[in-house]
Amino acid sequence: MSHPPFSPDRARAARQRIGLAPEQVVAAMGQLGVHRSVTAVLAWETGAMTPSEAELFALADALWCPTPELMARLPRSLREHRLARQFSAERLAERIGMDADAYARAERDHRWSGTDRQTLGLADALGLAPDELLRVIRRAGDLDDLLRHAVEGRWKQHTTSLARLVPAPEPRVAQVLRALHQEYARFNERYMGHLVARNDNARLRELATERAEWLHGLPDRFLDLVGHRAGPPT
C-alpha cells in the first residue's frame, strides 16, 4: 500500500509548537508501541522519507495534533477518512463487519461494495454525515469511470461533470485533465513506439505495467492536482 499523504512542514511545526526535541518524539512514539529512530523522525520532517500509516498515527499522538493536520488536507477519499480516524484497514473492516479483503478492494479500486448495514457502520465509524457519506462512496466509482474516459478520449466533454463531482472550479479541472490526458498519451506513444520497433516483449510488458499502475493511481493524482493551489500543473 502506498504511503499516506504527509506534510513534513506541518510535522516539524507541530513538534516545535509544543517544544519537543526529536528524541522526545521518539520516546513518546515508543510508549505507543511504535519504535523508530531520531533519524527517521528527522527524515520525515525533511521529506526524505514518508511515515507509514501506523507511524503517522503514532506521530500525530506524540505531537498532540489531529492526524489530518499532518496530512495537510481535509479527508476526501475513503482511505483518507479512515486515516483521519486512525483506523487500520483491517480494524475498520472488522468494526463494520466487512471482509478485510473486500474492504481493501473498495479502497484500492475506488468502488464501494458494502451492504446497507456495512455502509451505516462505515458512516458511524468515520463520523460521516449522510451527505458526506454519499459523496465519499458515490464519488469513488463515478470518479474512476469519468477520469478513465477523460484521459482515454476527449477530456473537455468531462470537465463539467468532474467539476461538479469533486467539487472544484471548472478552469482548474480543465487544466488538470489536459495535463493528465497528455501524460496518458505519452504512455501510449512509448508503447506504440516499442511495438513498431519490435522491441522485446519484456519491455512491452514493463510499459503496460507502468500504464496500469498510472491508471490505478489516477483518482488520487487527480484529487491532488485539483487541490494544489500553487499554480497549474506542469
Q: What is the pLDDT of residues 112-154, one digit of tens each?
A: 888 889 988 999 999 988 667 867 876 666 777 889 899 988 9
Strands (E), the chain: none
CA dihedral for 76, 81, 82, 84, sign (positive or negative): positive
DSSP state of 155: G
CATH superfamily of 1-72: lambda repressor-like DNA-binding domains (1.10.260.40)
- Quote the pTM value: 0.62
- All three cell numbers of 49: 522519507
220 confidence band (pLDDT: 50, 70, 90): confident
Query: What per-residue confidence (pLDDT) applies to 180?
Result: 94
Q: How far apart are CA 71 and CA 85, in angstroms?
A: 12
At the second CATH level, the architecture of 74-128 is Orthogonal Bundle (1.10)
